[in-house]
Amino acid sequence: MIAVVDDEESVRKAVARVLQAAGFTARAFGSGIEFLESWHFDRPDCLVLDLQMPGLAGTEVQQSLKMAGASFPIIIITAHDSPSLREECMNAGAAAYLCKPLDIRALVKAVSQTMPSAG
């Protein structure tokens, strides 16, 4: 299962649809808090995570997961790219960092590369 966390409903739904069309099972979450409250019960194989969200930013979700020992890959998506933010995310272990508007092929490729037996 691919978890998609984005506070923008249209983006969240579109990403989930694209991943499902590519053969993945996707589950969407509207906030980092919502995802963090559930990931222990339904561990994803990969997380597609938006950075700029109200409440808990994507970098904070990434850090919380790292501290909790989560081992699934995280693909960062953002509309607010900066070299320092990209470096911070990649140094924290992100498997990929993609900018919005998303290149659908790049997204599917990034997910597929984290899950070589799927997709």
CATH code of the domain covering residue 21: 3.40.50.2300
State residue 15's pLDDT score.
98
Whether the Cβ atoms of residue 14 and residue 111 lie closer than 8 Å to each other: no
State residue 119's pLDDT score.
42
Does 92 reside within a domain?
Answer: yes
Residue 85 dihedral angles phi and psi, to the nearest 5°: -70, -45
Does 87 reside within a domain?
Answer: yes
Does 34 reside within a domain?
Answer: yes
Range of the domain at 68: 2-113
From CA 68, how far away is CA 64, in angstroms rounded? Answer: 6
State residue 115's pLDDT score.
80
Q: Which amino acid is at 7?
A: D
State residue 116's pLDDT score.
58
When divided into structural domains, the chain yields a total of 1
Tell me the per-residue pLDDT of 93-113, one tens digit each, with 9 for 90 and over.
999 999 999 999 999 999 999
- Report the side by side order of strands in the sheet with 46-50: 26-29, 2-5, 46-50, 74-78, 96-99
Length of the chain: 119
Tell me the per-residue pLDDT of 38-80, one tens digit each, with 9 for 90 and over.
998 989 999 999 999 999 999 999 999 999 999 999 999 999 9
Tell me the per-residue pLDDT of 10-32, one tens digit each, with 9 for 90 and over.
999 999 999 999 999 999 999 99
Neighbours of 116 (CB within 10 A): 7
What is the value of pTM for the model shown?
Answer: 0.94
Rounded average pLDDT over 31-36: 97
Does 119 reside within a domain?
Answer: no
Whether the Cβ atoms of residue 66 and residue 22 lie closer than 8 Å to each other: no
DSSP 22: T
Does 26 reside within a domain?
Answer: yes
